[in-house]
Amino acid sequence: METEIIQFEKITLVGIKISTSLSEDKTFNLWNSFMKRVSEIKGRKDENYYSVQRYPNDADMSSFTPITVFEKWAAVAVKDIANIPAGMESVQIDAGTYAKFRHKGVATDFFRTSQYIYGTWLPSSGYDLRTAHHFEIMSSDYKGPNDPDSEEDVYIPVK
C-alpha cells in the first residue's frame, strides 16, 4: 500500500458525532442519520464527505482495543460555521503532517487497511502518532460502503 506524507491545511467541518467502539460499531447508524440531513448544511467548501475519529490517548494506539470508546464524526467541509443546523456541531481538523493511505474495497475490509497502517507501516516508518484527529475523505464519486470498487483516502497524524 502506497503511503504519502503530506502537509494538510486546517479545515472546518460540520456534522454529527457519536461515541462508539469497534465492538459496538455504530458507523452505519451515524452515516444514515447524517445523510438524511446533509442538505441542511449551507456553505459547503467541497463535495467530499469526512469520517473523523478522535481516540482517547490517541498518541498511543498500543492501548486501543475493540472495546475502546472513541468519538466518530460524519461531516462535510464548510466555508464558515455561521449557520450550523440544530443537532449538528463543528469540528476542526488542524493543519499538520499526515500520512495518507488509500483504502480500496468494501467498508467491512477497512480493518485490514487499519492493521497495515498501525501494525506494519507505523512501527517501521520512523514516524510517531501525534495528538490530532484521524480521518478519511470520501470524494463525491465514492461508490458506497458495500461496493468493492469504492476508494477513500485515510489520514493519520504523524510527527
Query: Per residue in 19-57, pLDDT tens?
Result: 998 888 899 999 999 999 999 999 999 999 999 999 886
Q: Would you give the end-to-end CA distance of the chain in angstroms?
A: 20
Burial class (CB in 10 A: 0-12, 13-18, 19+), 83: exposed
Distance from C-alpha of 12 to C-alpha of 2, rounded to nearest angstrom: 27
The DSSP bridge partners found for residue 18 are 72
- Cβ proximity of 102 and 156 under 8 Å: no
- Residue 30's domain comprises 4-157
- Sort residue 144 into left (φ over 0), alpha (ψ -120 to 50) or beta: left
E strands present in 78-149: 89-93, 96-104, 134-138
- State pTM to two decimals: 0.92
Q: What is the CATH number for 142?
A: 3.20.80.10
H or E, element range at 75:
strand 70-77
User: Which one, of 7, 4, 1, 30, lies nearest residue 97 by Cα?
Assistant: 7
Q: Which residues contact 91 (CB under 8 A, 6 or more apart)?
A: 12, 13, 14, 15, 17, 52, 73, 75, 133
Distance from C-alpha of 143 to C-alpha of 61, rounded to nearest angstrom: 30
Per the prediction, the chain carries an average pLDDT of 92
Instruction: Tally Cβ neighbours within 10 Å of residue 147.
Output: 12
Ranked by mean pLDDT, the top range of 22-26, 62-66, 82-86 is: 82-86
Give the per-residue pLDDT at 64. Answer: 79
Reported as a single tens digit per residue, the pLDDT across 119-134 is 999 999 999 999 999 9
Number of domains in the chain: 1
